[in-house]
Amino acid sequence: MRLLHKLFSSSTRDLAAPHAGPDASPEVSPPRSLVSFPLPPGQYSRDMPGWHPQMKPAAQLVSDVSQMDSLKALNKGEKYIEHGPSLPVRPSTLLDATRGGNGPVLSERLHANLLGGGIVAMATPTQSQSQLWRQGMDEHQVTHVVRLGTDLETVLLDLVPRTATPFPKGIQPAGSTPDGRHWYVTLDPTHAIPPSMMLKVFRELAADPPQPGCHVAFQSPSGDNRSAVFAAGWKIYQDVSRLCKAGQCLDQEAIEDLVQEAVVKLKMNRSTQLLNEPVHVAALLALAHTVRDTFQRRGTPHPDEIQQRAFPMAAGAQATVGDTSGTRHAKVARDICNQMKQIRWATTSLYAPLKGSTGAPHRIRIDRMFPTDPQLKGLGGARLVGAWANPGTLILEPTGPAQALALAVACLKHNVAAVVDVGGKSEPAEAHALDNGTRPFDEDSSATFQWQGRSEVPLGDALGATTTRMEVSAQIRGTPVTRDVSREPVFVQSKDIVPTQRPMELIRAPLTQGQAVPPQELLEIGKLMEWFRSDGTGTPVIVQCPAGDWRGVMAAAADKLYSRFQEGALQADNRDQVVEGIWTDLCTHYSMDLADEPDQLTSLLGMADLLVAQGKKTGRW
């Protein structure tokens, strides 16, 4: 009932802060009892020991901020937005600050403010604002969105439905193809915000952050304190991480200064009526402490510490580099996996074994599983057993001749640049769906993989990989399958573009079987996958891997890490954090069973060492 009361009263009262007119000064209230403003139930009770002790310093910080003359002056200049939430905002930082309106109430526009540092805090758009939101995303390059709220709020406040959220060009809505750059976080307005909830989102966000000039938008119904806390929290997460990497010691006073800076910045650029509750500021203080303590517990290695280290290697592979202790990576890997295990029990309903899999029953995220193409229903061999590890990498179990049509259709409709087979040379060889020639199917359907030139051309790499070029085409019930040719690489001439054919490569790159994939092999597979994406990292790659095996997902992890290195985002002082972000994303968006594979994660950390020591990028970026 408390939630319904808040929702129905939202037209005259902000969901998170007492309503005040433009000339009112923010009031400081004492900390609410933890009973009336509790943490969400379930696993978030673990946040209490770190959150509760910060209530007293949070109340003092709120009091100090409320006395700032600069904020009192800004409060008088805040304005309401016509048909918008009852929260006055700073006009000069609005996403659309050029739209007319000089009175106390501005004409209708997005209730969204630019906070600086690539951050936007805003009210979740309503149905009627869909077009405004799409324009705002394109104009300001909003490439990442964290949406907070509940399904009930979406219905009662007529918000843009989750499945209909407009996305910027090049990004697909959730449910169509997986997209790791959009998060939906269920959070009731009557609950305090758990620091661990923010930390989980920020780690995933840090694994693939907005590019320079782009923005991440934090949304909540009516633009209340939920989006404000997350927006301030993202700044704090980045600031604390940066200072810890630089070797600075952050005591309680330093943390309070960082949090106060983030709170003041949000108030100055969005609304002085936000973050006036000590309960929310306490969550930000607890978040800062958690990030700092994580760095202190693991230690941040200095580049000079990188030395030779022995890893289990495949025959002929070279020794790799790593840290002096020989055990640090293993400890970091165990810590990260243990964190994943702590949240796994609360998310079991999101995962299930792959239907039709013949291997170990790994639990895969249900919404990432590759669906059967509707056009293929009723035809034999229509199911491909696999799931998206990320938006650019589809992991499939081996495909035979019976699945050739399904595979050809997938390659065409998703514009697949390459199929990478990581099965070992000593493993049983079976007929492959991509074998040369045309295969007929029922009802005038067929699949063609027309090999071009020599087959299995050696690539001269350490893995002994080979490549076979081919043209893929298919028809279903007499109709040729076409692909999207609107985003072809600029170097491809229009006369060479055939919508019913897809140029593609079959890469055979055997990875070591029966143990953690060695770091050197991960580095080699990462290079191969990056090279064979025909348009940077924007074109999907399929990884075929024996059923019940982790080699496919490790290839996806290596590909992601190598891309981060090529972008310049992987450095000696942040390599653990980059790897952690990639692993967290794979655990939460592909399979939580990866939390049981610290040895694989140890190898991925070793690959990061190799990249940092190499310090050499290709010219493709």
Percentage, residues of the chain above pLDDT 70: 79
CB-based burial, 7-46: b 16+ in 10 Å, e otherwise: beebeebbbbbeebeeeeebebeebeeeeeebbbeebbee
What is the structure's pLDDT at 360?
Answer: 72
With contact defined as beta carbons under 8 Å apart, do 619 and 342 qualify?
no
> Domain ends where: 298, 323, 345?
298
Asked if residue 351 is part of any domain, the answer here is: yes
What six digits make up the tokens of 432? 């492959």
Does one domain contain both 219 and 292?
A: yes
Range in 19-33, 214-228, 484-498, 516-530 with the lowest mean pLDDT: 19-33
What six digits make up the tokens of 111? 């209730």
In three-state secondary structure terms, 583 is helix
CB neighbours of residue 128 within 10 Å: 11
C-alpha count within 13 angstroms, C-beta hemisphere, residue 374: 0
Does one domain contain both 354 and 210?
A: no
CATH code for the domain in which residue 589 is found: 3.90.190.10
Which residue is associated with the tokens 């996958």? 529
CB neighbours of residue 56 within 10 Å: 12
Residues in CB range of 280: below 8 A, 6 or more apart:
58, 192, 193, 225, 228, 229
Does one domain contain both 293 and 343?
A: no
What is the structure's pLDDT at 211?
Answer: 82
Residues in CB range of 242: below 8 A, 6 or more apart:
none
CB-based burial, 386-419: b 16+ in 10 Å, e otherwise: bbbbbbbbbbbbbbeeebbbbbbbbbbbbbbbbb
Top pLDDT among 387 and 18 is at: 387
CB neighbours of residue 96 within 10 Å: 16
What is the pLDDT confidence band of residue 278, given thresholds at 50, 70 and 90?
very high
> Domain ends where: 257, 276, 298?
298
Residues in CB range of 71: below 8 A, 6 or more apart:
26, 65, 264, 267, 268, 272
Which residue is associated with the tokens 């081919």? 470
- Partnered with residue 479 across adjacent β-strands are 476
What is the pLDDT confidence band of residue 460, given thresholds at 50, 70 and 90?
confident
Cα angle at 234 between 232 and 236, to 5 degrees? 70
CB-based burial, 135-165: b 16+ in 10 Å, e otherwise: ebbeebebbbbbbbbeeebbeebebbeeeeb
Does one domain contain both 225 and 99?
A: yes
- Its pTM stands at 0.56
DSSP 376: G
With contact defined as beta carbons under 8 Å apart, do 501 and 482 qualify?
no
List pLDDT tens digits, range 485-531: 876 665 556 666 888 999 999 999 999 888 899 999 999 999 988 88
What is the pLDDT confidence band of residue 215, given thresholds at 50, 70 and 90?
very high
Asked if residue 435 is part of any domain, the answer here is: no
Asked if residue 262 is part of any domain, the answer here is: yes
Q: Whole domain around residue 418: which residue ranges?
A: 331-425+507-614
In three-state secondary structure terms, 63 is helix
Does one domain contain both 241 and 359?
A: no
With contact defined as beta carbons under 8 Å apart, do 323 and 309 qualify?
yes
Do the bridges between strand 119-123 and strand 363-365 make them parallel or antiparallel, or are there none, so unpaired?
Answer: unpaired
Comparing C-alpha atoms, which of 217, 264, 208 is closest to residue 236? 264
List pLDDT tens digits, range 391-427: 889 999 999 999 999 999 999 999 998 999 998 766 6
Asked if residue 468 is part of any domain, the answer here is: no
Top pLDDT among 308 and 121 is at: 121
Does one domain contain both 275 and 391?
A: no
Does one domain contain both 181 and 60?
A: yes
Asked if pLDDT for residue 283 goes beyond 70, the answer is yes
Asked if residue 158 is part of any domain, the answer here is: yes
Does one domain contain both 544 and 602?
A: yes
Helix (H) or strand (E) holding 565: helix 551-566
With contact defined as beta carbons under 8 Å apart, do 17 and 225 qualify?
yes
Asked if residue 343 is part of any domain, the answer here is: yes
Asked if pLDDT for residue 31 goes beyond 50, the answer is no
Asked if pLDDT for residue 37 goes beyond 70, the answer is no
CB-based burial, 475-491: b 16+ in 10 Å, e otherwise: bbeeeebebeeeebeee
Question: Structural domain tally of the chain?
Answer: 2
Asked if residue 576 is part of any domain, the answer here is: yes
Cα angle at 336 between 333 and 341, to 5 degrees? 120
Does one domain contain both 237 and 353?
A: no
Does one domain contain both 235 and 384?
A: no
What is the pLDDT confidence band of residue 299, given thresholds at 50, 70 and 90?
low
What is the structure's pLDDT at 100?
Answer: 53
CA–centroid distance for 559 within its chain? 15
What is the structure's pLDDT at 119?
Answer: 95
C-alpha count within 13 angstroms, C-beta hemisphere, residue 377: 5
Does one domain contain both 400 and 544?
A: yes
Asked if residue 138 is part of any domain, the answer here is: yes
DSSP 450: E
What six digits make up the tokens of 501? 């054919």
> For the chain, what is the mean pLDDT?
80
What is the pLDDT confidence band of residue 341, given thresholds at 50, 70 and 90?
confident
Residues in CB range of 1: below 8 A, 6 or more apart:
none
Does one domain contain both 174 and 106?
A: yes
What six digits make up the tokens of 371? 């669906």
Q: Backbone dihedral region of 235: left (phi > 0), alpha (psi from -120 to 50 degrees) or beta?
A: alpha
Indicate the residue type of 594. L
Asked if pLDDT for residue 104 goes beyond 60, the answer is yes
